[in-house]
């Protein structure tokens, strides 16, 4: 038996699915690593809320590489580290300071929402553009109910900017969470908390390194 404590590998992201909104299909999609393909998740979608963060994702045409960042809770005070999956840094700093550089490089701001689906799976919603606006307004008006009620996406909000039509998920409050489902959410919250703790330190306020695939978005 060793006399010194051996370093252990940090836990991997506990989310089993990273769901992205596909505006043209009016549905979500996630990359299945085992199948090596994108899988569509049609509406309705029902989930319990755990926590949300901010991050950057995108695709660099010049580097032909996917782009990602760590996730932060307080985007106004915690720095983002934006990197390429093929290696190399895009930008580091507060989002308001690096926003232009990120956008020029092909990155986009995302709202990262950790949730528990009906089957007990922990997933992550990666929201961008108009979907962020819909979620932000919904959160502002209903966040006091997030720990006690299901959240549902049963339909979409259609919009148009210039000649471009788009859709966004429409968030609504659902039924009350049962004691059994609340127990599942509490267990998943503990998993997420452990992961967060492993990536948080006094010297590094940034948390949650992304686990994504190197594909264009």
Domain ranges of the chain: 17-209
CB atoms within 10 A of CB 165: 11
How many angstroms separate the CA atoms of 25 and 130, rounded?
A: 15
Cβ atoms of 206 and 196 within 8 Å: the answer is no
- Residue 88 DSSP label: -
Other C-beta atoms closer than 10 Å to the C-beta of 83 total: 21
SS3 160: strand
HEC secondary structure over 133-165: HHHHHHHHHHHHHCCCEEEEEEEEEEEEECCEE
C-beta separation of 166 from 159 below 8 A? yes
Pair type for strands 17-22 and 122-127:
parallel
What does 28-39 look like in DSSP terms, one character per residue? Answer: EEEEETTTTEEE
CA atoms of 94 and 81, how far apart (whole Å): 9
CA neighbor of 210 nearest in space, from 87, 69, 18, 99? 69
Tens digit of pLDDT at every position of the chain (217 positions):
455 655 555 568 899 999 999 999 999 999 998 889 999 999 999 999 999 999 999 999 999 999 999 999 999 999 999 999 998 999 999 999 999 999 999 999 999 999 999 999 999 999 999 999 999 999 999 999 999 999 999 999 999 888 889 999 999 999 999 999 999 999 999 999 999 888 764 334 444 444 444 333 3
């Amino acid at each position: 038996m060793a006399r010194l404590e051996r370093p252990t590998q940090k836990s991997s992201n506990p989310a089993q699915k990273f769901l992205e909104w596909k505006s043209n299909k009016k549905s979500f999609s996630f990359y299945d690593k085992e199948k090596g393909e994108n899988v569509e998740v049609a509406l309705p979608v029902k989930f319990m809320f755990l926590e949300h963060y901010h991050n950057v994702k995108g695709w660099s045409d010049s580097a032909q590489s996917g782009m990602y960042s760590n996730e932060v809770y307080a985007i106004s005070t915690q720095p983002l580290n934006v990197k390429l999956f093929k290696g190399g840094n895009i930008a580091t700093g507060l989002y308001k300071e690096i926003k232009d550089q990120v956008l020029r490089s092909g990155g986009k701001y995302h709202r990262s929402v950790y949730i528990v689906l009906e089957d007990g799976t922990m997933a992550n919603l990666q929201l961008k553009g108009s979907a962020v606006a819909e979620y932000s307004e919904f959160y502002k008006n209903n966040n006091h109910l997030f720990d006690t009620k299901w959240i549902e996406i049963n339909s979409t909000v259609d919009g148009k900017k210039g000649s471009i039509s788009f859709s966004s998920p429409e968030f609504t409050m659902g039924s009350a969470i049962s004691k059994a489902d609340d127990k599942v959410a509490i267990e998943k919250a503990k998993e997420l908390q452990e992961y967060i703790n492993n990536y948080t330190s006094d010297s590094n306020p940034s948390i949650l390194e992304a686990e994504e695939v190197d594909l264009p978005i």
